[in-house]
């Protein structure tokens, strides 16, 4: 079983903030995969469900970002989980908008939510870093992340949330590569090509009889034309 945590701040006024992309991702997962209703437990909102035979708990801490670790620790104790069974989804200013990365362990890079999780359960948990871009100067970071996504962000944001939801079953099994592949299929889908087909490939698909019927007729040889002209001149 995995505990999948989305970081954010509770309350409607924060709902569309960049800092709340973790909450948004969990809401999409719960809706797409038929999880049960959200319930208030462990200082957060929790819903339970399954991806096939794999059980998972989704948790949105309601302690506000700076104290997220309290809720994560309480849920872990209740379900008797180890840090390696926890996955935290969070906003990442050091990644461009729409970029997603999976990481196991490591530092918190100054993220207040991760800092709190580190303090309560240590660093040995998985993270899904959801890129929201950087405002350009560190002094502008707080107001940037505590601000709604713009209309220009809607397309890539929807792709990311759908991709994370598509890959959620792989998070539950611990297969990071397949999770990232599912995200990539939404964020950077493979294209079928330029629309121009290789002529040789097209010809190779034709039956032999069709190939013969479309073959160009041979041109008449200059010598034959010249002989015919001479014969016609003799009977004029």
Average pLDDT over residues 88-97: 97
- Tell me: do 26 and 113 sit in the same domain: yes
Q: Are residues 150 and 37 in the same domain?
A: yes
> What are the tokens at 12?
């409607």
Identify the pLDDT of residue 229.
55
Judge if 134 and 224 occupy the same domain. no
150/89 same-domain check: yes
Residue 20 banded pLDDT, cuts 50, 70, 90: very high
CA distance 3 to 83: 9
Q: Same domain for 112 and 210?
A: no
Same domain, 155 and 87: yes
pLDDT, position 188 = 85
Whole domain around residue 131: which residue ranges?
2-187
What integer pLDDT is reported at residue 36 of this predicted model?
94
Domain assignment present for 194:
no
What's the burial of 9, exposed, middle or buried (CB within 10 Å: 0-12/13-18/19+)?
buried
How many Å is the maximal CA-CA distance in the chain? 113
Active site amino acids? 19
Residue 192 lies in a domain: no
The predicted model scores a pTM of: 0.80
Q: What is the mean pLDDT of residues 59-75?
A: 97
* pLDDT, tens digit (0-9, with 9 covering 90-100), for 68-80: 999 999 999 999 9
Is residue 47 within 8 A of residue 34, CB to CB? The reply is no
48: domain CATH number is 3.40.50.1470
Residues 94 and 204 in one domain: no
Domains contained in the chain, number: 2
Whether 111 and 132 have beta carbons less than 8 Å apart is answered as: no
Q: Given a cut of 60, is residue 209 above it in pLDDT? A: no
Looking at residue 218, its pLDDT comes to 41
Residue 230 reports pLDDT greater than 90? no
With respect to residue 27, please indicate whether it lies within any of the assigned structural domains.
yes
Residue 80 lies in a domain: yes
Q: Tell me the mean pLDDT in the region 92-115.
A: 95
Measure the CA–CA gap between 126 and 102, rounded to whole angstroms: 7
Domain match, 131 and 21 both: yes
- At 227, the pLDDT band (50, 70, 90 cuts) reads low
pLDDT band of residue 142 (cuts 50, 70, 90) is: very high
Q: Both 109 and 24 in a single domain?
A: yes
Question: Percent of the chain, pLDDT > 90?
Answer: 79
Residues 97 and 118 occupy one common structural domain: yes
Across the chain, mean pLDDT equals 86
Residue 19: name the closest of 72, 99, 91 by CA. 91
């Amino acid at each position: 079983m995995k505990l999948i945590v989305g970081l954010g701040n509770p309350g409607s006024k924060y709902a569309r903030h960049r800092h709340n992309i973790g909450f948004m991702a969990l809401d999409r997962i719960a809706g797409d995969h038929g999880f049960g209703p959200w319930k208030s437990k462990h200082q957060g909102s929790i819903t339970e469900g399954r991806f096939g035979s794999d059980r998972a708990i989704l948790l949105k801490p309601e302690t506000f970002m700076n104290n997220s670790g309290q809720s994560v620790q309480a849920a872990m104790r209740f379900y008797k989980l180890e840090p390696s069974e926890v996955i935290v989804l969070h906003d990442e200013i050091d990644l461009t908008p729409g970029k997603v990365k999976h990481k196991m362990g490591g530092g918190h890079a100054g993220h207040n939510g991760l800092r709190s999780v580190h303090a309560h359960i240590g660093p040995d948990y998985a993270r899904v870093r959801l890129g929201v871009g950087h405002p350009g100067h560190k002094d502008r970071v707080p107001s940037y992340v505590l601000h709604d996504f713009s209309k220009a962000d809607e397309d890539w944001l929807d792709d990311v949330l759908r991709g994370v939801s598509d890959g959620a079953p792989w998070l539950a099994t611990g297969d990071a590569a397949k999770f990232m592949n599912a995200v990539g299929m939404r964020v950077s889908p493979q294209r079928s090509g330029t629309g121009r087909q290789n002529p040789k490939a097209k010809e190779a698909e034709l039956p032999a009889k069709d190939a013969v019927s479309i073959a160009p007729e041979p041109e008449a040889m200059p010598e034959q034309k010249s002989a015919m002209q001479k014969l016609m001149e003799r009977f004029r």
